[in-house]
Chains A and B, each alone.
Chain A
């Protein structure tokens, strides 16, 4: 079983569209994250979220919003897509408390905005 899974793996869409990327983890973790990796390969945190707290990187446009239907899922909604949103988006999860602070990452969603 894949620990952190994202769908779709590839997403091509036109400017101005609204799209969602889904993420699910089966590790029982209580904190999930979204990271963005741009064309220069820099990995940057966008959000971290558990059922009590959402931490947003201040550089993330408000067109991006995380939505968590339950503890095992954190979906990423993007409104009014722009060319600059083209990147690879990674979902991750970890435990918030206790030992074992390693984060587990999904395989990424390559978003191309045309």
Chain B
């Protein structure tokens, strides 16, 4: 699985959009970008994934650059409950095992 690089921490004002970047310059053509988050003391939670096109669901939007070397997770209206560590993971879709390789992630602090 390709490696990812994320800033260690970010702050965001409550109610504003949180934009979390991720670099994955060595991504292969068959690798997807996944985002998970871990709220303090809880298990990781799936947020969204994508291959080339931008994706949106009820939790977030995922913007992937045209060259696929980087992406941004957008939480449109951050709340205090969005304070968590966010992990960007790149892996092959449909591979035999769905083991996830977690990096250090970005600790997002949503400030009142």
Contacts and interface: CB of A to CB of B under 8 A. Distances in A.
B41 A108 contact: yes
Nearest to A44: B102
A43 B86 CA distance: 12
Contacts, number: 55
Main secondary structure of the interface of B (DSSP, over half): loop
Nearest to B92: A101
Contacts of B104: 41-42
A56 B49 CA distance: 26
Chain B residues touching A, range: 20 to 34
Contact of A105 (B41, B44, B93, B101): B44
16 contacts: A41-B85, A41-B104, A42-B102, A43-B38, A44-B102, A45-B99, A45-B100, A48-B97, A48-B98, A90-B44, A101-B32, A101-B49, A101-B98, A102-B34, A106-B43, A107-B43
